[in-house]
Amino acid sequence: MRVLVLFLILLNVGFYAWARYMQPVEMGIDPRPLKREISPERLRIVSPAPRAAPAERAAETSPMASAVPDTTPQGPAQRPEPIACLEWGSFTLADAPAAAKVVGSLGLGGQMHERRTEETANWWVYIPPQSDGRAGALRKTRELRALGVEDYFVVQEEGPNRWAVSLGVFRTEAAARARLAALQAKKVRSAEVGPRETRVPKVWLQMREIDPAKKEQLETVVSRIPGTELRACEAGS
């Protein structure tokens, strides 16, 4: 019995030794994978690349997509129609040359023509006659020149306004008051607005075939000069 037990123990030990050290390696199984690695220190763990959107994947898989030019029809840029005729005014005969220089500075000198008219002025801006008559009028003109005001004239005809200093005549009270405000901004203190009906020569500066962009520039200039306006030319003028 003891011999049988000993035999079984030896048999188990022999089987273990055979299985552990003598059994052949099965196909596809490496019993020592770590000892067979080559340069394990060079291995790096990287994140998976993000998936492309469907449209991007389609573009990547279609090399012709980037080669096909955009054939969407593009219409020619349309240039705005020119404005047939604008006129700026009205100006006295003394003021018209300065206004014409402004028009020329905008590149419209070659398109400009003068239209002369006579207008009924119902309002004027003036400095009333002084107590010393002509001497007082001359004193006021010197004061005006010192303040940078050049557009004036001394009334000399007989009547209650003789030796008054006129600073402009206007069709409307609003235009006259705009002129007065501009003079007051220059420190002219003794001028005032009053009614005065008279016929005076005036000048309108007409410009034909105007680019709309030039009209915007003209409107900016007009807004800075009280008592003037920019409008479409009158029919037949």
- Let me know if residue 69 belongs to a domain: no
Domain membership flag for residue 77: no
Q: Could you tell me the residue range of the domain that residue 164 belongs to?
A: 83-232
Q: pLDDT by residue (tens digit) across 124-175?
A: 999 999 999 999 999 999 999 999 999 899 999 999 999 999 998 888 898 8
Taking the CB of residue 90, how many other CB atoms lie within 10 A of it?
A: 25
44 CB-near residues (< 8 Å, 6+ apart): none
Q: Is 162 inside any structural domain? A: yes
Tens digit of each residue's pLDDT (9 = 90 or more) over 10-19: 566 566 555 5
The answer as to whether 17 is a domain residue is no
Residue at 203 is within a domain: yes
The model's pTM is 0.47
Distance of CA 157 to the CA centre of its chain: 53
- Evaluate whether residue 106 is within a structural domain: yes
pLDDT tens, residue by residue, 59-83: 454 444 444 445 555 655 667 788 8
Total count of domains within the chain:
1
60 lies in some domain: no
At residue 81, the pLDDT reads 83
What element of type H or E holds 195? strand 192-210
Instruction: Say which DSSP state 160 is in.
Output: T
Name the strand (E) or helix (H) holding 194.
Answer: strand 192-210
pLDDT, tens digit, 9 for 90 and up, residues 183-203: 999 999 999 999 988 888 899
The confidence score (pLDDT) of residue 45 equals 59
Specify if 5 maps to a domain: no
Annotate 15-31 with b (16+ C-beta within 10 A) or e (fewer): eeeeeeeeeeeeeeeee
